């Protein structure tokens, strides 16, 4: 131990232990750094995988949204085409239905017009036959009167007395008066029958015309006004002919359908123009007093109340119509 200071071996041993610790610490740091490096690599790899997965999902979502938008556009185009096709088909069916209704209305009006003509012709033929029969009967009566007059003259010329002349003259005058009265009564009865039959025929034609005009699909203002005038004229004719049921039907259509439509759908200017051609106001001013006179027993009381109310609404709506000057 000579030549070495005291405690040198302990120092070397301590230095050796310190060096061993340092080496062990370096190894431990190397292992820790390696572990951290692999952890960092794993974290980076996981982050990359996560980013790639999110991008792939986003791309798939965008592609799916594009496909959905494309399908919606195709579906919208298909629906629009289908809707247009349905609309065109519906319009065709509607036009065909309107054409069929118009043709049916025209055919019905033509049929009713032909029936009215047939009934009027049959009535005219019957009246001609009755006139001929009445004329033949009158001629026979006149021949009888002439024979009676000739006989009376023969008796007078044969030297009858004054009393017989007076009696013959009285008898002749009485026979002539009776014959004239009978002829006048027959003529009045026949004239009344002809007048009533003519009024019924014309009333039927006007009522048919009103039904046709009121049932037209276009429902123009001219049609409504003309229908009102037709029903008013038909009611007047049926009233004169004594047909109460037909009169009430015409009044009901006039009050319930025609006059309210005039008030609600016709402008004052159009109404004034239409009144220049045919006046519904004039027809009502004639019809209401006739109904009051004919319905003194209350037969037309309900119809009169409705007609006056509808006429009042008409006057209120078209109280001061504009005046249109006619061109000369």
User: Chain-centre distance of CA 117, in angstroms?
Assistant: 29
Distance between the two ends of the chain, CA-based, in angstroms? 164
Tokens read off for 264: 């609600």
Q: Which residues 6+ apart lie within 8 Å of 145 measured at CB?
A: 175, 176, 179
Residue-level pLDDT at 235: 92
pLDDT at 96 over 60: yes
Write the pLDDT tens digit of every residue in 35-52: 877 877 888 877 777 777
Among residues 272, 268, 281, 233, which one has the least CA distance to residue 253? 233
DSSP string of 153-195? HHHHHTT--HHHHHHHHHHHHHHHHHHHHHHHHHHHHHHHHHH
Are the C-beta atoms of 266 and 249 separated by less than 8 Å? no
Instruction: Identify the residue with better confidence: 265 or 124.
Output: 265
Are the C-beta atoms of 209 and 230 separated by less than 8 Å? yes
Grouping H, G, I as helix, E, B as strand and the rest as coil, residue 328 is coil
Give CA–CA dist 211/109, Å, rounded.
9
Element (H, E) at 259: helix 259-265
Residue-level pLDDT at 136: 76
Give CA–CA dist 30/34, Å, rounded.
6
Q: How many residues does the chain have?
A: 328
Other CB atoms within a 10 A radius of the CB of residue 169 amount to 12
Structural domain boundaries in the chain: 218-323
Q: Which residues 6+ apart lie within 8 Å of 165 measured at CB?
A: 156
Q: At which residue do the structure tokens 């490096």 appear? A: 37
Residue-level pLDDT at 31: 79
pLDDT at 72 over 70: yes
Residue-level pLDDT at 5: 54
> Where does residue 3 fall: left (phi above 0), alpha (psi -120 to 50 degrees), or beta otherwise?
left
Largest CA distance in the chain: 231
The Cα-based distances of 188 to 1, 120, 147, 181, 195 in angstroms read 186, 21, 27, 10, 10
pLDDT at 250 over 80: yes
Instruction: Identify the residue with better confidence: 155 or 239.
Output: 239
Mean pLDDT of 182-196: 75
Give CA–CA dist 130/196, Å, rounded.
15
Mean pLDDT of 193-201: 85
Give CA–CA dist 98/85, Å, rounded.
20
Grouping H, G, I as helix, E, B as strand and the rest as coil, residue 242 is coil
Q: What is the pTM of this model?
A: 0.46
């Amino acid at each position: 131990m000579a030549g070495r200071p005291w405690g040198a071996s302990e120092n070397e041993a301590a230095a050796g232990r310190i060096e061993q610790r340092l080496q062990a610490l370096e190894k431990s740091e190397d292992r820790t750094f390696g572990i951290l490096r692999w952890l960092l690599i794993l974290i980076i790899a996981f982050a990359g995988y996560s980013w790639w997965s999110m991008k792939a999902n986003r791309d798939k979502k965008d592609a799916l949204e594009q496909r959905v938008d494309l399908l919606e556009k195709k579906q919208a185009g298909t629906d629009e085409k289908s809707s247009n096709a349905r609309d065109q088909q519906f319009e065709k069916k509607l036009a065909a239905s309107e054409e069929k209704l118009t043709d049916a209305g025209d055919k019905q009006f033509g049929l009713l017009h032909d029936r009215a003509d047939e009934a009027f012709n049959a009535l005219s033929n019957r009246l001609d036959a009755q006139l001929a029969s009445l004329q033949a009967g009158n001629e026979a009566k006149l021949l009888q009167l002439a024979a009676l007059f000739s006989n009376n003259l023969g008796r007078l010329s044969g030297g009858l007395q004054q009393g017989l002349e007076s009696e013959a003259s009285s008898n002749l005058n009485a026979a002539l008066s009776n014959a004239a009265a009978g002829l006048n009564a027959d003529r009045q009865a026949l004239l009344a029958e002809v007048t009533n039959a003519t009024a019924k025929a014309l009333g039927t034609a006007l009522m048919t015309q009103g039904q046709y005009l009121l049932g037209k699909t276009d429902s123009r203002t001219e049609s409504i006004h003309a229908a009102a005038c037709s029903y008013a004229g038909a009611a007047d004719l049926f009233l004169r002919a004594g047909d109460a049921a037909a009169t009430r039907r015409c009044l009901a259509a006039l009050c319930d359908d025609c006059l309210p439509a005039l008030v609600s759908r016709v402008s004052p200017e159009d109404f004034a123009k239409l009144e220049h051609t045919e006046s519904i106001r004039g027809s009502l001013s004639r019809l209401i007093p006739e109904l009051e006179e004919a319905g003194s027993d209350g037969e037309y009381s309900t119809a009169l109340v409705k007609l006056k109310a509808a006429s009042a609404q008409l006057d209120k709506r078209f109280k001061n119509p504009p005046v249109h000057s006619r061109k000369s």
